[in-house]
Structure 1
């Protein structure tokens, strides 16, 4: 009886295991052949891939160009393709050699020693032109092709702006459940504009040269190579940014040459409020997640740059008495600690020399008049809230060009408005005041335009493959009230005085090729380096030329000792280089 039970149990186990293996085989061969596992692996396609050799010409993902239609990340490079079956046939290597300036013996050696297609381009010393490609293909040699192959630009530019892509099958299926046509290896945007515009950039189909082989790598269907191309006239799309590649490269070089390793800059076209250049340091490195952050759209302590807001409020509320003098021998708390000796200064010269006591005094007087005066004026200057372009784009109600932008803040606690020392620290851009460099650049552009505030754009158009327009991002005004033209005019005068005053904090820029208007800032971070030295955020924000403003520029170096900061040097060099443009 026991023996029969054992045999019965064993039989049931064998039947269950056999049934499981049958189901698994059916799952592989019949049920989920085109969407296997959560990654959605196409088993049919993978089996075909094992029997093919291919040269990818274009992955089908959309591309980015600058405002002058110059590619920012990918390019199409003239290339020569040699398939390995050439070693088994007789072919005119001499004729090809004459066209590509590579010895025929070298061409024959290359195909003799490979099992995969060979692609030769400029990085291999093979310089080809459009004419060369045409003549190569006119030779009609089986397995020899002249193509424009998609390549990544060697010297990367605007990395934090453009962003990176990566493979993540689970995220792909979660974001695009209706796109079953996408391979689980399809790359999706991870950061920057690649992430923001990912849905528009997804590939429709790859363009490639395809060649079938058997298990030993020999021709399966003769020496015919198939050219597989996307026939869709609309995709892939091109995202036309507002970046000027030449200016972007200059900006990146200047920051590197001035040894700014933590910080960056934002350059806006004042007329259009478009980003011409934006650089964030440290440089983007995929292997270190901490470098993926674009610090130019993240709030930082602004220091005395924030005195621009207090000045605007003082003007709007009638506290800018030209005859009034402030005792600038006192510190921000109104104490004579011996650290200041600027004497009695007017409102204007207090701004030029960045006297703390003047602005802490004005801040307290403003709050007595209106508890919301400071944040209201900051809003009028286009400084707080989300200032990047947003609006309706197809099925998106609020599409954002800067989805990772973080809004600035002024008060961490409303009760601080009744605490004298909290007001003092807020007035000079400390305590809970945090503003992004892009927002500060927007404030400078707003002042330069006479008080009109706009959203910041970094993409102007999305273009179809055939060059027609898919979508245009029109200029949007920021909601809310503006500062008065009079206030804007007075702020322009104050910002210019920072440079022209013999003791102004921006007097270095008196020798700039353009007349510069701006404001410096030194913000305590509460951190020290390993030597015990205090670390600061060092700013200079302004616009130029002063009499006919074209550019708004903000430069910030984070967590630096005051003596080693390269902020002013970067600003100066940028002005000099833009004068050449």
Structure 2
């Protein structure tokens, strides 16, 4: 009897364990893994075509989108739903949208050779899309698709572009933050059909996400869309090739960054072979700064007490260094004669600043340039950013040092680096690092990460030196070479630059790059603005008026 009871107990225990395992398995299949299994089962009877790529948005400081700014409509064909698969299949929509013979031939070829859905036409009007859907033609549906880069998109070189084939960023913010922007949940337009490839009543065509995956992240920039738009509108009228940077000096925030020529990220192939290099971001590319570098010379001379504000120099219109004659930009005019350092800055005297640099010495000048950020990339860490070029002090002979004093020779800098220099002067000698990404957020808007709070600050010159430099820059716009940059009602200050390229035009005239760097308003400056016009010839006549127009548009908004 005891043996029988033990057998019964063992059987009961076995069935209890088996039942428990069965319940656990069912729980796993139905509750934990159920949604994925349902999708997999559904996918057997789903014909789908991806219509929206899973990618986070890039937004300005006020969370106004710079991407996904428009949408288009496409006609999608599901071959399994089309009867006869002849030209008659498209006849019903011919009255709504005119199909070219080439488009019709391509559509018929795919209709008869592929079982998978495809786009017959894209970029159609919303009213046309509604007409087609109202006709309820089996196998033909018009769907809305987001356009990553809308017509006339702003900040193209900042945003960058993606490779639509694999949804990966190639340049700009799209490349820098590709892993975060790129999600893995693309949206599909799908036809839900039965075993006979007929639409299931009540389900029909749906938009859905068929796979689970990571959610995309949004990138919030420091860019101000309104300022960016003002800058780009002005550049489109005035700059063929060049760049503009607008920075908040107190924080290092880039409020606008634009490069010309620009490009349409939806049609990249047409720009690849152009000689003007429209895909190049000139705001982070390096060029000879010309006379803008005189700000560095003045800073080094004042910091090292090589020059006092009341020292008087003599401008003969030229200066000879080791049997090499360096002429002033205004050599053909009368010599300027006696000049203080402020007057020499206002009139951009080459002979005076070469005298100062030779007296100062290469080591002290290079040391100040390095402190200001020349010769190294900024913390922007932007795609394709150049470090510029700053020669080693022990490699500079007197003639080389003379060239460096006027921003020629081996010296090269980017517009962003020059913006950093001016911001340091505005900040009483404290350098802040420029930055362009402020936050990362989830799709729901929750902040995932913040950047540059607080920004690293380093003193590179005394408050007194910075104050004196601001006074010199004010003289430039009040009575010097930059009068065309003065902003009425607000005031402004800055420095012109005309950098020789060593090339000549068809008439034999030397080709120069044009610069103007400065700040506005004059009291309590809020904006640092750098204008670079490639082959613009004259900083005074070309870059300075553009600075004034940009500063005026920002200050009056």
Query: Hey, what's the Cα distance between the residues in 2 that align with 1:353 and 1:49?
Result: 77
Query: Hey, what's the Cα distance between the residues in 2 that align with 1:446 and 1:533?
Result: 36
Shift of 1:432: 0.6
Equivalences for 1:95-110 in 2 at 5 Å?
none
Query: Hey, what's the Cα distance between the residues in 2 that align with 1:62 and 1:530?
Result: 49
Residue 558 (1) aligns with residue 528 (2)? no
SS at match of 2:389: coil
Equivalences for 1:467-478 in 2 at 5 Å?
467-475=445-453, 477=455
Equivalences for 1:245-394 in 2 at 5 Å?
245-258=225-238, 260-284=239-263, 286-287=268-269, 288-289=271-272, 290-333=277-320, 339=332, 340-367=334-361, 371-389=362-380
2:504–2:510 CA contact under 8 A, matched in 1: yes
Query: Hey, what's the Cα distance between the residues in 1 that align with 2:428 and 2:348?
Result: 23
Match of 2:476 in 1: 498
Shift of 1:384: 4.1
SS at match of 1:73: coil
Match of 1:3 in 2: none
Match of 2:147 in 1: 151
Equivalences for 1:416-431 in 2 at 5 Å?
416=396, 419-431=397-409
Query: Hey, what's the Cα distance between the residues in 1 that align with 2:221 and 2:344?
Result: 40
1:472-503 deviations in whole A, cap 9, x for unaligned? 112465576421111111111111111112xx
Residue 240 (1) aligns with residue 240 (2)? no
Shift of 1:450: 1.3
Shift of 1:567: 1.6
Q: 1:564 to 1:426 in 2, by over 3 A?
A: closer
Match of 1:124 in 2: 125
SS at match of 2:448: strand
1:169-210 deviations in whole A, cap 9, x for unaligned? xxxxxxxxxxxxxxxx42211111111111112221111221
Residue 532 (1) aligns with residue 508 (2)? yes
Match of 1:442 in 2: 420
Query: Hey, what's the Cα distance between the residues in 1 that align with 2:347 and 2:438?
Result: 40
Query: Hey, what's the Cα distance between the residues in 2 that align with 1:412 and 1:536?
Result: 25
SS at match of 2:431: coil
Query: Hey, what's the Cα distance between the residues in 2 that align with 1:486 and 1:228?
Result: 64
Match of 1:219 in 2: 198
Residue 512 (1) aligns with residue 515 (2)? no
Shift of 1:319: 2.8
Query: Hey, what's the Cα distance between the residues in 2 that align with 1:233 and 1:88?
Result: 33
Query: Hey, what's the Cα distance between the residues in 1 that align with 2:262 and 2:360?
Result: 42
Match of 1:464 in 2: 442
Residue 200 (1) aligns with residue 187 (2)? no
Query: Hey, what's the Cα distance between the residues in 2 that align with 1:513 and 1:575?
Result: 11
1:145-164 deviations in whole A, cap 9, x for unaligned? 99864223122211111111
1:43-70 deviations in whole A, cap 9, x for unaligned? xx9xx999835361x2102221111111
Match of 1:549 in 2: 525
Match of 1:522 in 2: 498
1:118-158 deviations in whole A, cap 9, x for unaligned? 89999615399xxx9xxx99xx9999999864223122211
1:247–1:277 CA contact under 8 A, matched in 2: yes
Match of 1:577 in 2: 553
2:285–2:415 CA contact under 8 A, matched in 1: yes
Greater mean deviation of Cα atoms: 355-364 or 140-149: 140-149
Residue 190 (1) aligns with residue 170 (2)? yes
1:437–1:554 CA contact under 8 A, matched in 2: yes
1:330–1:357 CA contact under 8 A, matched in 2: yes
Shift of 1:404: 2.2
Q: 1:466 to 1:232 in 2, by over 3 A?
A: farther
Query: Hey, what's the Cα distance between the residues in 1 that align with 2:539 and 2:81?
Result: 66
1:539–1:567 CA contact under 8 A, matched in 2: yes
2:484–2:540 CA contact under 8 A, matched in 1: no
2:76–2:143 CA contact under 8 A, matched in 1: no
1:522-556 deviations in whole A, cap 9, x for unaligned? 11111123443211111000011011110000001
Query: Hey, what's the Cα distance between the residues in 1 that align with 2:349 and 2:248?
Result: 31
Q: 1:479 to 1:405 in 2, by over 3 A?
A: farther
- RMSD of Structure 2 on Structure 1 (CA): 4.0
Structure 1 segments unaligned to the other structure (5+ residues): 1-44, 90-104, 168-184, 390-399
2:512–2:537 CA contact under 8 A, matched in 1: yes
Match of 1:40 in 2: none
1:331-387 deviations in whole A, cap 9, x for unaligned? 1436697645111111110111111111111111111xxx52112212333444222
2:71–2:146 CA contact under 8 A, matched in 1: yes
Match of 2:388 in 1: 408
SS at match of 2:410: coil
Query: Hey, what's the Cα distance between the residues in 1 that align with 2:44 and 2:383?
Result: 38
Shift of 1:461: 0.8
Aligned length: 475
SS at match of 1:154: coil
Query: Hey, what's the Cα distance between the residues in 2 that align with 1:579 and 1:50?
Result: 60
2:498–2:513 CA contact under 8 A, matched in 1: yes
Shift of 1:471: 1.6
Query: Hey, what's the Cα distance between the residues in 2 that align with 1:202 and 1:372?
Result: 47
1:85–1:219 CA contact under 8 A, matched in 2: no
1:223-248 deviations in whole A, cap 9, x for unaligned? 63343227879721111111112221
